[in-house]
Structure 1
Amino acid sequence: MESMNIDHETDDDVEAAEAAATLGALASGTAAEEAAAADDDPLQGHERYSKVEELGRGKFGVVLLAHDNQGQQQVAIKCLKPNTVTLRYISAEVLNHRKLQHPFVIGFKEVFTTPHYICIVMEYASGRSLYEHLCQSGHFSETAARWFFQQLIIGLDYCHQKGVVNRDVKLNNMLVQKGVVNSDVKLNNMLVQVFPNEPRPPVLKIADFGYCKAYQTSDPKTKVGTLVCMAPEVISSRSGTAYDGVKCDIWSCGVMLFWMLFGATPFPPDPAAKTVEERNKSLLLRIMEGQWQAPSSIPVSEPCLHLLRHILVPDPAQRYSIADIYAHQWFKENLPAEAEALKREYLGKEDYSKLQSEETIKQELEKAMQQWATNAYSYQ
């Protein structure tokens, strides 16, 4: 496969539960000063972790690059301000993320609380988001887009078979790591087959689980995720109406593939729309209709377009399944033989003994709820 010219830089995109409400304004005095100090460095005074630099910041929290003084390694820590809604999302995120141990998924390490934050410790992937790489290059070659799409499907299939749907599949939530950071022989062999002349081939990492849902125990019923990648059935769903979260993830994968190939979303808003409301309305309408057209200025093979036509289908019952994608001619091209063995190997891994226990995680989240209730009362 051709070299993909992936730079080795650091970036992470902060995505917290977007439906959450922020805490009220802090009262003046000592509490406000402590909170301000915590905002500057949420890890201040922590025994094990120390801040190296800030990777990204959003309305509800910050992602830090930190040094693990115990494990002597760099980690990423998502620090989120708790409230009743974010705590609900964080609980699902952490407990589901803990189940997932795969080279195409950012690894979960532990969760802990500080007086002002819930902190989720994760594997650090020293690469930029797929969105940033796409912005730099405009669009990817068909070969490069296929490699990232193959990794995305393999990683998501693993998540689905572990009972977890993502519901926020998008370019910003995919990190690109140059080189292999683990000792998995099958993964190394797979990369060598695809990139025989590339010393540090790019590996995709699914990096955010803020909206994930355990579909084996509960069907998704809420409108979450990013609008441009949202499936039609999510947009049209009424409150309390279940939809197939797996098929929604597949739709989002199709949007990502189109975007990688052509450098634009398949469903752009009406250019004549003047306000944000008008743009969003026209975007929703185009997604619901499922009408898209591949730009003629960028040549793409017919097998690739055939796959897109069977993924970007508004009716989820007619949309391709993961199995259909695996069997497709275009997807199978340049797919290493090790891919199937890698899939079986990680699906068979059920050893969580080295991870933080579910009981400890629930205790930490309960502690966060109690701290939030106390702080919220104190600030009134």
Structure 2
Amino acid sequence: MKKTKIVLKYIIILLIVFILIKTGLSHRYLFSSGSTVDGKVTRLERHDVVSNIITSCEIIPRTQQELKIAGNGIVKKIHVNVGNKVKKGTLLAEMESKDIYGELSIATGMLNKASRELAIKKNYYDSAKIKYKKDLISLKEVIEAKQDLKSTEEDSFQSAQNKYSEVMKKISTLKLYSDISGYVTQVNKSEGDLAIADEPVIVITKLDDLYARFYVSDLYQGKIKENMNVRFFDAQKTAGQIVAEGNVTNVGKFVTKKGITVEVSFTPAAQEQREANLHKYLSAEIPLNIRKNVSSIPLSSVYVDDKNYYVYEVKNSIAKKKYIEIGLVGNDYVEIIKGIGSGDKIIKDPNKFVQDGQVFKEL
């Protein structure tokens, strides 16, 4: 009987141990109090905080002039380099063309011949007028001399002069002058290169008229509007170092593959930075006064998923699930945001309590 009681006692003890172990495995919070596991929510932000979009943008010239020649030519001299500041009318480059100068030689010869012929006809007409006054020739001969002079002037001489003007116009196109005041941003040819018609030889950019172009997610459709202020800074330099500011001048009406197109009138902080910022990628910051889809949960409450009891503990602006024992209390509140954002914050406000049913279940 005594042995039976001892055996029964051991069985009861083993049963209790078994129950405790099973209970512990089912409710790990009894053994793992204080441990943390990454939660589903990793972005934290107050719903009344102004959110900023920070994106990469390219600074692009709004006014740009590609200078070309009318016909093929050989580059004789380039008078500017990339980065040179030029005024309207500045001579930038000179070309030469054997074909054109051959045409010039022929046109010059024809014009000289026509000029000599015209001079002869004019002298004959002047002489005829004098002879008529002396009754040496008839009026009919004077009229014929005048008509001959007029015909020569309107036909052969004018034709030769037009041809010469055409050739000189071609030669003038072999000299490239700046059409705008700005900076040389591209030189596509070197001395001795063949310059093909309709291909740019030099590109001039007006740097006092720049704009920034970038793309934002369609989540912000309707949120970015014209005249909104945008700040630019170089992400590679000291954080927060603003290099320029501008205002939104154009917002795309349609969503492209890259997103919504945004263009900003770009005014560098200093004149000398305009050339440095051209075609450069900067970071653009747009302040948006948007209330995002957020909710608040109290860390003093106990929540449960399918297996464990936990609260959310916030460290370094990241929410982590903390397994707890029943009875943990506290006053810290955190606002949970779903999606993108910045400026993560933790708040303490017992009046802000909105249950997020998608993430939590109340015990």
Q: Which has the higher contact order (CA 8 A, sep 6+)?
A: 2
Q: TM-score, normalised by structure 2?
A: 0.19
Q: Which has the larger radius of gyration?
A: 2
Which is richer in strand?
2
Which is richer in helix?
1
